[in-house]
Amino acid sequence: MKHYTSQNMLVHADFDMRFTNMLARWEGPAHDASILGDSLSRLDGLQIPEGKFYLGDAGYACQPGILLPFRKTRYHLNEFSPRHRPRNAKELFNLRHSSLRVTIERAFAALKNMFKVFDQKPFHTFDTQVKLVIACCILHNWILGWGDDEFFDEVVTFDEVETGHGVNTCDNDAWKEKRQEWADAIWEARGNTTI
């Protein structure tokens, strides 16, 4: 538990590690599902195009447009190796999901390395902290587009967030079935390809 006000935010990044959408204004203890629900309910919030999806972590409920890993199934890259290959469709799906999710972790690592203010205990008001994070994300995107940056070589991984924080969520059965179909298709198509 932190003894100062921290921030939890919803951020989307593309494969070039640019932040494409962000909702920053929630205090640290806020549950991911609450923040996502807020973003989806806003007129200017997250709009998921038909037939598209965003990767999400296990802190969200399974719902259309948010593609989650399978719970209670190996997930993190360090849990797999040539000797510990995926044993079924769910594990292979989670391995591929985790491989893609590294992009957001790299973007956050670069942001934190670039702006050391995030390593310090915040002394600004919460409203100023929110504006500071938004400004740093904008500068991060600008540097990616116009400047060279030595911070993007480092890869940092983060621990998975536990679920069950008292937030009422409801998995969408149809979306869970779609995820299972994709996992089965990936498993069937694996053939002799490397993982």
Q: Cα–Cα distance between 69 and 58 in angstroms, integer? A: 6
- pLDDT tens-digit map of 62-76: 888 889 999 999 988
Contact 32, 46 (CB under 8 A): no
pLDDT score recorded for residue 194 = 56
Is residue 120 within a helix (H) or strand (E), and if so which, with residue range?
none
Angle between helices 89-114 and 126-146 (to 10 degrees): 100
pLDDT band at 3 (very low <50, low <70, confident <90, very high): low
Q: pLDDT per residue over 53-108, tens digit each?
A: 888 888 888 888 889 999 999 988 888 888 899 999 999 999 999 988 888 888 98
d(CA 188, CA 190): 6
pLDDT tens column, 128-181: 888 998 999 999 999 888 766 555 554 444 434 344 555 555 667 888 888 899
Q: What is the pLDDT of residue 97?
A: 92
Rounded to whole angstroms, the Cα distance separating 99 from 110 reads 18
pLDDT of residue 157: 44
- Neighbour count for residue 174 (Cβ, 10 Å): 11
Residue pair 34/167 in contact (Cβ under 8 Å)? The answer is yes
Q: pTM for the full model?
A: 0.69
Residue 91, SS3 per DSSP: helix
pLDDT at 193: 58
19-35 pLDDT, tens digit per residue, is: 988 888 877 778 888 88
Token reading at 31: 């549950």
| Per-residue CA distances from 45 to 21, 35, 42 (Å) | 8, 11, 5
